[in-house]
Structure 1
Amino acid sequence: MALNQFEIIKSLGEALSWFERELSWGVPAAELNHLTGRIGELYTAMFTYGQMATEVNQRGYDVVSAAGERISVKTVTSSNQVGFNHNTFEHVDRVVVLKINTEEMAIEILLDRPASEARTVMREDKTGKLIFPIYRSPTQADDVAIADLLVTKQAHYKGHTLKQYENGTVHVVKDGAIQQPALPILREFAAELQIDPLNSTGSPKNTRYLGDQIIRKILELQYPLASEH
């Protein structure tokens, strides 16, 4: 049965919530392939206004876009490559490779190209599988993009500077260096500032959400009169 856009978005939200819950229980992201794969397919169906393929791995594609493109979707968390079936690749019109950033709980598009273009950046391994290597470093790429963004909020706490940018990204800086990962530091600050590190569903808050609340709390404590306006 075909899902409408509302049902796809709702299913995506439920899958992401379950994924967060599994991570909070200590399950490694690499062991949640069934969930990451489903999240990637739902996300692709959402932004292409498409539908899930009627059968699992139907002729090598997972989603059919509103324009009728047959899309092969691969979703990773930490892998440095993904593989495609050479025998069914001829049935694919478009290739999408996604990465779930487990610290930010964000979905990043690493590749979204017509199949013919995607094939030019793939290599064939000894078994005949088509391999797309993932060279992109999310941290480095984000740093380049961040340089062009405005800082919307900033606070200082215990020798650290917390910066929030206009796209919502939060960085923790100490002695001029961005601290990676930031989440453990933010959780320590949250405990000291009596901020709940869990959201309403009981899952851990991500860097952006927790960082935003911490910055607001620090500014409120430092400038109590300003917070009243």
Structure 2
Amino acid sequence: MALTQMQIIQSLGEAMAWFERERQWGVPPTELRHLCGRIGELYAALITNGQMAVSVNQKGYDVVSALGEKVSVKTTAKMDHAGHISFNPRSLSEVDRVIILRINTDDMEVETLLDASTEDALVMMGPETQGKRSIPLSRLLKRSKPQSELVTVNQVSYCGYVVRELETGTIAVFREGQPIQPTKPALREMAINLNISLVNSNGNPFNTRQLGSLIIQSVKALMESLPAPRD
């Protein structure tokens, strides 16, 4: 039976919560491939307003979009540029669209690395090797807009740090003009100084975006509460 859009949203939320819980228990993403794949298929069904394929790996596709496109979905949780995304070239003839997703384990969100027709995706793939054709992750990540080119929608300065919320929702932290990586330790330091809890009402740690947003809101509120300078 086909899932409704509401059921897809609920299932995606439950799968993401399960994934985050496993990560908090110390399980590496490499041990959560099945869960990663399920999250990717649910997310693809959501953004295409489509449905999951009737059976697993049905003729090489995972989702059927609202337009009737047969979509092959690949999902990774790798956060570096190493590795590749592989496809079976013999089943790609049954596919109309390719979507490659990444679960950002820092921000606990799903990022779209590629959403293209099969023809365009084939152009990005290397030659067939051991029955597979692959797209290097480095090639997919290079397609993303560099952080330096993203618009800053919110910015505050606090304790020598500059915290920026970018147009994508990403939180960037700078000190003396230099980006801080990873950002989480600096955000935790600021949160403690601002008396911001590091966990939500369920006792789960805030992710980078949530914590960064809370810090920006708190610093702005703090600045607004200060008396205006006298002329």
Is TM (by shorter chain) over 0.5? yes
Q: Is the 8 A contact 1:77 1:102 kept in 2?
A: yes
Structure 1 pair 24–126 and aligned structure 2 pair: CA distance change class (3 A): same
Instruction: Provide the residue aligned with 2:106 in structure 1.
Output: 103
Instruction: Provide the residue aligned with 1:116 in structure 2.
Output: 119
**Residue identity matched to 2:181:** Q
How many equivalent residue pairs?
223
Percentage of identical aligned residues: 46
Structure 1 pair 151–65 and aligned structure 2 pair: CA distance change class (3 A): closer
- Segment drifting more, 91-100 vs 119-128: 119-128
Q: CA deviation at 1:20?
A: 1.4
Structure 1 pair 167–88 and aligned structure 2 pair: CA distance change class (3 A): closer
* CA offsets 1:91-147 (integer angstroms, 9 cap, x no match): 111111111111122222111111122111112343121111122447x7341442x
Q: TM-score, normalised by structure 2?
A: 0.87
Structure 1 pair 106–179 and aligned structure 2 pair: CA distance change class (3 A): same
Q: Is the 8 A contact 1:163 1:170 kept in 2?
A: yes
CA distance in 2 between partners of 1:137 and 1:95 (Å): 16
Q: CA deviation at 1:166?
A: 4.8
CA distance in 2 between partners of 1:220 and 1:116 (Å): 51
Instruction: Provide the residue aligned with 2:5 in structure 1.
Output: 5
Q: Is the 8 A contact 2:113 2:141 kept in 1?
A: no
**Residue identity matched to 1:98:** L
Q: CA deviation at 1:177?
A: 0.9
Q: Is the 8 A contact 1:20 1:204 kept in 2?
A: no
Instruction: Provide the residue aligned with 2:30 in structure 1.
Output: 30
Instruction: Provide the residue aligned with 1:163 in structure 2.
Output: 164
CA distance in 1 between partners of 2:169 and 2:134 (Å): 33
Q: CA deviation at 1:45?
A: 0.3
Q: Is the 8 A contact 2:199 2:206 kept in 1?
A: yes
CA RMSD of aligned residues (A): 2.2
Identify unmatched segments of 5+ residues in structure 1.
none
Pairing of 1:212-227 with structure 2 (within 5 A) = 212-225=213-226
Q: Is the 8 A contact 1:155 1:219 kept in 2?
A: no
Say whether 1:141 aligns with 2:145: yes
Q: TM-score, normalised by structure 1?
A: 0.88
